[in-house]
Amino acid sequence: MSASPPELRLENQLCFAVYSAAHAFAQAYKPHLDPMGLTYPQYLVMLLLWEQDGRSVNELGQPLQLDSGTLTPLLKRMEKGGFVTRQRDARDERVTRIHLTEHGQSLRDKARAIPTALLCASGLTLDQLNTLRDQVRVLGENLRE
Amino acid sequence: MSASPPELRLENQLCFAVYSAAHAFAQAYKPHLDPMGLTYPQYLVMLLLWEQDGRSVNELGQPLQLDSGTLTPLLKRMEKGGFVTRQRDARDERVTRIHLTEHGQSLRDKARAIPTALLCASGLTLDQLNTLRDQVRVLGENLRE
DNA sequence: CACAATTATATTGTGTACAATTTGATGTCA
DNA sequence: TGACATCAAATTGTACACAATATAATTGTG
């Protein structure tokens, strides 16, 4: 059994750096989201609903790249938590529309402080963050092709 | 209800770009790992064992940043799949040591082709990949502090 | 209009993640 | 040496992720 080639070493993998950073982000968000009662994926849904309320499950899943198998139970937990309501569209009964509750809407003000805190925790300048974000976004798009 | 500020828009978040790229990586690995019967996190464990066999659960969890709650069931599935063996250390019965089976060892040769395929799928040059990996690694380290 | 194809969501089953607790083994020190 | 802290895994409970399938509503076509 010879030594492992460099391309197969864990520490040299871009995929692992990304995998690990994704988990680190979720942990870094935790102290900000726990007091609100949100998990990190739930927070992503809130971001979308704060931008535009009343989206369908599909309209949430498309930007997030998540299907109903993930979103349906997640949204049910968010409903139970009092953040959103889930109701069938009257025009098309196949569609479930997700609306923010008043409580859900009101959380946006509290969330305003989070991006600054995370920027600080990232140790990056705003320019570095934007550049890195664009590079990682392109990477994700390429991988999905 | 006013418009959502730019810092709170999903598409502007570095965390989401990373989260999304991590999932895209797992999907991109799938066609290469499925034929071997490995999942992506199991592949990460294989990378570590190919580097050094006979690690303890902790010695796997430390570089991966995963605890026994994740690793114990994952390693049991890998044992059932015939990739590794799990046995208590004779010197210290608290420790479980993970060893590659012959089959597990033999997969390293098949895995050699994967990094090149993924480099290609990433759409990056090797230099770009290395630079991006280092930046994302530093980001993860900063977030964990 | 009947009916097959399509669409949107929900459900089921498997596999991570992670906090919190439990279990059993080892080390320490009065 | 014997009570006690410490340590490594395992276990339990909750929450994603995603493939595959099921269900129900809508659309398209003859």
| pTM (two decimals) | 0.95
| CB spacing of B25 vs A142 below 8 angstroms | no
Q: Which nucleotides of C are covered by protein (CB under 7 A)?
A: 7-13, 15-20, 24-27
Please check the confidence at residue A75 and state whether its pLDDT lies above 80: yes
**Per-residue DSSP letter, B5:** P
Name every chain A residue with its beta carbon within 8 A of the beta carbon of B135. Answer: 132
Please check the confidence at residue B3 and state whether its pLDDT lies above 90: no
**Per-residue DSSP letter, B39:** -
Helix, strand, or coil (residue B111):
helix
Q: Which residue's CA is nearest to the C1' of nucleotide D18?
A: A69
Q: Which two tokens stand for residue A121?
A: 């925790």
Please check the confidence at residue B45 and state whether its pLDDT lies above 90: yes
Please check the confidence at residue A96 and state whether its pLDDT lies above 70: yes
Nearest nt to the CA of A95 via C1' is C8
The amino acid at B94: R
pLDDT tens digits, residue range B49-81? Answer: 999 999 999 999 999 999 999 999 999 999 999
Please check the confidence at residue A65 and state whether its pLDDT lies above 80: yes
- Cα–Cα nearest to A84, from A73, A100, A95, A68: A100
Q: What is the pLDDT of residue B84?
A: 98
State the DSSP string of chain A.
Answer: -PPPPGGG-GGG-HHHHHHHHHHHHHHHHHHHHGGGT--HHHHHHHHHHHHSSSEEHHHHHHHHT--HHHHHHHHHHHHHTTSEEEEE-SS-TT-EEEEE-HHHHHHHHHHTTHHHHHHHHHT--HHHHHHHHHHHHHHHHHHH-
Contacts of B124 (CB under 8 A, 6+ apart): A139, A142, B132
Q: Which residue's CA is nearest to the C1' of nucleotide C7?
A: A94
